[in-house]
Structure 1
Amino acid sequence: FRDGLRVIGEQAFCECKALRSLAMPRTVTKLGSGAFSDCINLAKVEFNELGCRLNLAAVRFDEGALQIIGGGAFCGCKALQQETIPPSVITLGDEAFWGCRNLSIVQFSEGLDIIGEYAFYECTALRSVTVPLSVTKLGIFAFRGCTNLTEVILLGGDILLNQGFLDWGLFSGEGALNEKRFHETICVNAFHDCPLTTMKISFSERMSRLPQDCRPSIEGRIRDLRRLEITQDGTILACFPVIRRSFGCMHVKDTDNQTAESLHQVLRLISFHELKESSILIELAMWKSRLDENRARADCRTSVPDPAKTLIMEYCGFTRFLEPAIEGA
């Protein structure tokens, strides 16, 4: 291809079974529908501007201008085993990787907006998928027939969980899962015929703000709670059961409120550490303000009185979680 090429059209190289390699400039912004579908022997992709040659068994679209991977672009490319979608891509078209039966690893990047219908239909080697927070539409049957897909992680806790619950826990009267928002964003039929038992939603923002030495106690507690998991990087995953209905339909629901109860305990523990850190900072500030050349430094120390702690809790939103503990102090 010549430098400056921006679009590779629909079915441009469909069923070119003798095609074994291609050189693609970084200026390409769109791969049309079916552009390389059924190119079963395509084994090498070269991005000329970068001098980068890639085996199709481990394709990575380098960051650049590419924004759209059209419908069926790599449909039936049976040699494909791994794929990384760069942040520049915002749309992954319908049937983009339909029938790539050896595709076992897919890595999406933040910035991806749409995963089209049947995008990974019958990609039977897929076992785990992580959907970025930026995805606003997950098309119907996007992962249908992925018969080994047993784990789906949704990086959208701030959107998919009820804000009232995140602020007040069980005291809010709301469940943990925002079911309306969940089903607006995630078409559960996207995972039709997948052997899923739970959907995992990330919850890590407040945890990430805590000092490192506060986290081990919370992580240890999480491992003892039902329907919660924690990843190696410290991300908390809230697991919501998948309920099977007629005709293969699925519904995600916090049965018996078990996930909410476990999350409430974690939120309470996080709030305790947040209050503790806030109190330490205030005590240090008070100590510094009381330093006197004529007094020993230890004599200048003071603690935050309980009424002040209550004010801190109200200001920081901890009251409903920790008020009973303070009253009993």
Structure 2
Amino acid sequence: MDDASGRKRKCDTQLDNVFLYYKGGKVAEGMKSQITRVRIGPQVKDIPHNAFRGCTNLTEVQFGEGSLEVIGDGAFYECRALQQVILPSSVTDLGACAFYGCINLAAVKLNEGLEIIEMSTFHGCRALQRVTIPLSVTKLDNYAFWGCCDLVKVQFSEGLEIIGQAAFNECLALRSVTVPSSVTRLGSFAFIGCINLTEFILLGGERLLNQESLDRGLLGVERALNKKKLSEMIGNGNSLSDDCPLRTDAFHRCPLTTLKISIPRALSERMERLPRECRLSIEQRVHDLRRVELTQDGNILACFPLPRRSSVLDTVEDTNDETAESLHQVLQLILFMNSGSRAF
């Protein structure tokens, strides 16, 4: 009796642990609650929309390297037991809501070849901790990582052009974000509700700082920020003038107080070519100034305050042209050190 009972329990366990070799098409609704593991066949080119939607016990998907190109809208919608996803390099299209509500998805690897991360693709993946956006991705669509509250690190790559509306809404663990120079647009409320986001760095100094001022050798105080270019990136169609400051709703409900913009790379390279004692002198000068910073990898950042009016970050400002003045002092020192080193 006991042995028979034991065998029955073992049989029940096996029935509950269903492996599916997937050859394409939609999965029968009656099977969805039973499937725990899936292997995608090498002949499958696309997974249609909602194919595995609601497979609440699915813990593992083996994609492998095959001919898979498209993961359709909602393909793994609310697969709540899924813990890890490694996409093959053949996938170019990751559909809207593809992994929406996969609340235990803690690790995702996106390979080169992927071009667009569609709307709400990882919406509500609250266990996701780190993600690297491949060089091939040009767009993160609206709400792509909304509610990924454990996301502590997002690594963008040069090539990304658009970060959509509310793409990182309520990513509560994010503390620092560095946006590559290729990004031309931050959507409204892109980082709304990131209540621990204290550092935001834009690497597009060639576009976002006043190039004319840099080209003239920084003689005299000029406004350092190119408001027109910055408006194209994070503005909302406001007319710009000295009396109409630039709104920054991308950071609504963030503790961010400063927007940091890298100086043009050519100027950093000048500094790198200086003798060590000259570099140390410049680095010390940077540390002594309030509105410029030096990163560990050698980038010099111009820092622009984001004044807070009530609970809203409202504008980008260079109060009393202090950022411009600090930036000018450092860059004039770089130019001076370069001319001095050539003399020797």
Kindly indicate whether the alpha-carbon contact (under 8 Å) linking 2:293 and 2:301 is maintained by their aligned counterparts in 1: yes
Aligned to 1:90: 138
Matched, 1:211 2:271: no
- Equivalenced residues, count: 265
Please give the residue correspondences for 1:1-329 in structure 2 after superposition, counting only pairs within 5 Å.
1=40, 2=44, 3-21=66-84, 24-43=87-106, 56=107, 59-62=108-111, 64-168=112-216, 171=219, 174-187=222-235, 188-203=248-263, 204-209=265-270, 210-213=273-276, 214-245=278-309, 248-280=312-344
Q: 1:146 to 1:109 in 2, by over 3 A?
A: same
Tell me the amino acid that sits aligned with residue 174 of structure 1.
E
- Cα distance in 2 for partners of 1:8, 1:85 equals 17
Q: Which deviates more, 269-278 or 128-137?
A: 269-278
Instruction: Tell me by how many angstroms 1:19 deviates.
Output: 3.6
Tell me the amino acid that sits aligned with residue 81 of structure 1.
Q
Q: 1:21 to 1:105 in 2, by over 3 A?
A: closer
Q: Determine helix, strand or coil for the equivalent of 1:153.
A: strand
Aligned to 1:316: none
Q: 1:163 to 1:23 in 2, by over 3 A?
A: closer
- Partner deviation per Cα, 1:165-218 (whole Å, 9 max, x = no partner): 212355366301111211211242111111111101111431322334231111
Kindly indicate whether the alpha-carbon contact (under 8 Å) linking 1:245 and 1:251 is maintained by their aligned counterparts in 2: no
- Cα distance in 1 for partners of 2:311, 2:288 equals 36
- Partner deviation per Cα, 1:13-68 (whole Å, 9 max, x = no partner): 1112244455643211011110011012335xxxxxxxxxxxx1xx3323x21111
Tell me the amino acid that sits aligned with residue 267 of structure 2.
R
Q: Determine helix, strand or coil for the equivalent of 1:74.
A: coil
Q: Give the alignment's Cα RMSD to 1 decimal.
A: 1.8
Q: Determine helix, strand or coil for the equivalent of 1:222.
A: helix
Kindly indicate whether the alpha-carbon contact (under 8 Å) linking 1:242 and 1:250 is maintained by their aligned counterparts in 2: yes
Kindly indicate whether the alpha-carbon contact (under 8 Å) linking 2:221 and 2:325 is maintained by their aligned counterparts in 1: no
Q: Could you tell me which runs of 5 or more consecutive residues in structure 1 were left unpaired when the two chains were aligned.
A: 44-55, 281-329
- Cα distance in 2 for partners of 1:151, 1:246 equals 20
- Cα distance in 1 for partners of 2:114, 2:173 equals 26
Tell me the amino acid that sits aligned with residue 205 of structure 1.
A
Q: 1:96 to 1:272 in 2, by over 3 A?
A: same
Kindly indicate whether the alpha-carbon contact (under 8 Å) linking 2:87 and 2:109 is maintained by their aligned counterparts in 1: no
TM-score, with structure 1 as normaliser: 0.76
Instruction: Tell me by how many angstroms 1:118 deviates.
Output: 0.7
- Cα distance in 1 for partners of 2:217, 2:314 equals 27
- In proportion to residue count, which structure has more helix? 1
- Cα distance in 1 for partners of 2:87, 2:327 equals 48
Q: 1:175 to 1:35 in 2, by over 3 A?
A: same
Q: Could you tell me which runs of 5 or more consecutive residues in structure 2 were left unpaired when the two chains were aligned.
A: 1-39, 45-65, 236-247
Tell me the amino acid that sits aligned with residue 76 of structure 1.
G
- Cα distance in 1 for partners of 2:86, 2:185 equals 32
- Cα distance in 1 for partners of 2:109, 2:74 equals 21
Kindly indicate whether the alpha-carbon contact (under 8 Å) linking 1:170 and 1:261 is maintained by their aligned counterparts in 2: no
Aligned to 1:47: none
Q: 1:22 to 1:225 in 2, by over 3 A?
A: closer
TM-score, with structure 2 as normaliser: 0.73
- Cα distance in 2 for partners of 1:74, 1:212 equals 48
Q: 1:264 to 1:24 in 2, by over 3 A?
A: closer
- Cα distance in 2 for partners of 1:236, 1:21 equals 37
Q: 1:86 to 1:132 in 2, by over 3 A?
A: same
- Cα distance in 2 for partners of 1:246, 1:264 equals 32
Q: 1:172 to 1:180 in 2, by over 3 A?
A: farther
Tell me the amino acid that sits aligned with residue 190 of structure 1.
A
Q: Which deviates more, 106-115 or 167-176?
A: 167-176
Moved over 4 A (4+): 20-23
Tell me the amino acid that sits aligned with residue 166 of structure 2.
Y
Instruction: Tell me by how many angstroms 1:93 deviates.
Output: 1.1
- Cα distance in 2 for partners of 1:245, 1:169 equals 35
